[in-house]
Amino acid sequence: MSNSQVLDRLLDPVREVLTPDVAQAIVDLRADSATQEHIDDLAERHHEGQLTPEELAEYEAIVNAVDLIGVLQAKARAALASRRAS
């Protein structure tokens, strides 16, 4: 089972407790431009094999955080869609 699948199963109950406002705020989450530039730089240098051990650890933490945020956003979209369908 992939990390995303595990997160999906663990976070499934979150969908049930999200208010529409909170769900929309989660769907709208985006990194600010400076943070996105830093992530893009790390990603590019990672693909080129140029990260220091510290940068690699930071990049891996970012990838894990992005996975978590992605699953939360999917749960939030599902919560919004189910409320619209009701």
Domain that holds residue 49: 3-85
The number of domains in the chain is: 1
pLDDT digits (tens), the chain, 86 positions: 887 788 889 998 988 899 999 999 999 999 999 999 999 999 999 999 999 999 999 999 999 999 999 999 999 999 999 888 87
Full-model pTM = 0.84
- Distance separating alpha carbons of residues 15 and 80, to the nearest angstrom: 9
Residue whose C-alpha is closest to residue 7's, from 68, 78, 65, 61? 68
